């Protein structure tokens, strides 16, 4: 499946802001939050043909996912099925990249995210 997680320069800059605001120092932890936040969103992330994975931030899937690698893989696979994508390596990689970048943007653009507690609030489903 996914071997290497790469980020755009824009996402790297957004993570720098998030690190400063939240006090979370590890790229992979912030990336996990972003990925999950994007999965929570009902819409399919828009295709970004100009998304260049050109930053110095790069990590293995094992570093990104940690001990929950199977869980993150299952979440991605389920979401791809839900959105009607064929389960190919290309589609899984593309959808992961789009969800990751969308989620990071959601985190940094949310003015209510200033610490870890704020990030937890975002993760809670407020629908009854």
Domain boundaries, the chain: 4-122
pTM for this model (two decimals)? 0.89
* Nearest one of 90, 118, 123, 103 to 7, comparing CA atoms: 103
74's CB contacts (< 8 A; 6+ apart) are none
H or E, element range at 33: helix 27-40
Q: Is 28 exposed, middle or buried (0-12, 13-18, 19+ CB in 10 A)?
A: middle
CA-to-CA distance for 44 and 50, rounded, in angstroms? 17
CA-to-CA distance for 111 and 4, rounded, in angstroms? 30
pLDDT in tens, 56-91: 899 999 999 999 999 999 999 999 999 999 999 999
CA-to-CA distance for 31 and 64, rounded, in angstroms? 7
pLDDT in tens, 13-59: 999 999 998 899 999 999 999 999 999 999 999 988 778 888 889 99
Classified by CATH at the fold level, domain 4-122 comes out as Arc Repressor Mutant (1.10.1220)
CA-to-CA distance for 25 and 19, rounded, in angstroms? 6
């Amino acid at each position: 499946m996914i071997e290497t997680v790469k980020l755009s320069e824009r996402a790297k800059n957004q993570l720098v802001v998030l690190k400063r605001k939240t006090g979370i120092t590890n790229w992979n932890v912030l990336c996990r939050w972003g990925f999950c936040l994007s999965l929570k969103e009902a819409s399919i992330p828009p295709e970004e043909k100009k998304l260049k994975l050109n930053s110095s931030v790069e990590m293995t899937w094992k570093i990104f996912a940690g001990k929950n690698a199977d869980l993150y893989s299952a979440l991605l696979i389920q979401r791809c099925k839900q959105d009607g994508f064929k389960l190919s390596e290309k589609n899984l990689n593309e959808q992961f990249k789009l969800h990751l970048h969308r989620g990071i943007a959601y985190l940094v653009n949310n003015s209510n995210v200033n610490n870890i507690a704020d990030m937890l609030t975002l993760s809670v489903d407020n629908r009854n």
